[in-house]
Amino acid sequence: MYTQGLDQAGNDKQSGVETAEQLAAFQKRVDAEEKIEAKDWMPEAYRRTLIRQISQHAHSEIIGMQPEGNWLTRAPSLKRKAILLAKVQDEAGHGLYLYSAAETLGVSRDQMVADLLSGKAKYSSIFNYPTLTWADIGAIGWLVDGAAIMNQIPLCRCSYGPYARAMVRVCKEESFHQRQGFDIMLTLCRGTAAQKAMAQDALNRWWWPSLMMFGPNDTESKHSAQSMAWKIKRFSNDELRQKFVDVTVQQAEFLGIRVPDDELSFDPESGHYTFGEIDWQEFIDVVAGNGPCNKQRLEKRQYAHNEGEWVRAAAQAYASKQAARAAA
């Protein structure tokens, strides 16, 4: 899954002196599609941009476990339960690779986790919406993972090597998740009238938040131009959003459910769908902490962290004793 990390406010103060020669040499490497590795020289702003983006991506994976975890105990068949659990486990694994990738840039996992728990760090706004029915699990896989894949496939070619390599593995798993989500939707749409209504209701609630996952319009996107120049980002928010709409509308038609947008129409000239305006105020509100579940998601994470404190302390104490015993 994905975070709108690139476009979240960041305070990129440059520290130290970076000469024009250094910056030019760095840009030349990026332009030549060389991978930048952890020990290579890089501009401080590049480092900070990546730390922000990768850590927000990691946090999104961790918080994203909650809305889906919400249906684990109630999954309607053992097969679906196993698939959903495997998916949630994958998300924990993605969180782990991504924290590791961010650590190569000189920030500790403890620090990143502390920033998440204090509310300082952001995660994808999509996870601040509730999963109210089983169909939401289908919609998340189909739409949210679908949007994530659009965003993440270009990241496999990101200029920063450790991130690009982590994304190769993440993308393989995401594409499996997307197919599973679509399969849930298809089963519901071919099922009883009540199941189909459940699928339509889920599409109604998840459609617009999924479009918001691509971040603000290009004209409003603050960090995009620099990220594109550094080849962290390969396509603009609006380009990716359009691609998502083009693919997904046809899938909705196949499912026989309606995309909740009265302005949606196919433009034969451009070969693309045109669609209505996103409610950007809602997006701003959710990013600012005022979504339906922001408080709940963060509190659950804080609670788990605090409840686990004694366990981590015990593991640390045991490790210290063992080290002392080995030294004695």
List residues binding other proteins (CB under 8 A): 62, 65-66, 69, 72-82, 85-86, 88-89, 92-93, 95-96, 99, 134, 184, 187, 191-192, 194-195, 300-301, 303-305, 307-318, 321
Phi-psi region of 8 (alpha: psi -120 to 50; beta: other; left: phi over 0): beta
Instruction: Report whether 259 contacts 203 (CB < 8 A).
Output: yes
How near is the Cβ of 298 to other proteins at its closest, in Å? 12
d(CA 147, CA 245): 9
Contacts of 257 (CB under 8 A, 6+ apart): 185, 189, 196, 199, 200, 203
Residue type for 20, please?
A: A
How near is the Cβ of 133 to other proteins at its closest, in Å? 9
Record the tokens describing residue 266, joined without a space.
């196919």
Record the tokens describing residue 195, joined without a space.
């199941």
CB atoms within 10 A of CB 31: 12
Residue 93 or residue 276: which is nearer to other proteins going by CB?
93
Residue 292 or residue 308: which is nearer to other proteins going by CB?
308
Q: Residue 7: which of 173, 224, 152 has the closest Cα?
A: 224
How near is the Cβ of 244 to other proteins at its closest, in Å? 27
Residue 91 or residue 145: which is nearer to other proteins going by CB?
91
How near is the Cβ of 93 to other proteins at its closest, in Å? 6
Contacts of 221 (CB under 8 A, 6+ apart): 6, 7, 215, 236, 237
How near is the Cβ of 27 to other proteins at its closest, in Å? 36
- The secondary structure of residue 278, as a DSSP letter, is P
How near is the Cβ of 299 to other proteins at its closest, in Å? 12
Three-class secondary structure of residue 215 per DSSP: coil
Residue 23 or residue 96: which is nearer to other proteins going by CB?
96
Record the tokens describing residue 293, joined without a space.
């579940």
Residue 17 or residue 326: which is nearer to other proteins going by CB?
326
d(CA 310, CA 259): 48
Question: Phi first, then psi: what are they for 267, rounded to 5°?
Answer: -105, 105
Q: Residue 155: which of 327, 5, 289 has the closest Cα?
A: 5
Residue 25 or residue 317: which is nearer to other proteins going by CB?
317
Residue 20 or residue 193: which is nearer to other proteins going by CB?
193
How near is the Cβ of 197 to other proteins at its closest, in Å? 12
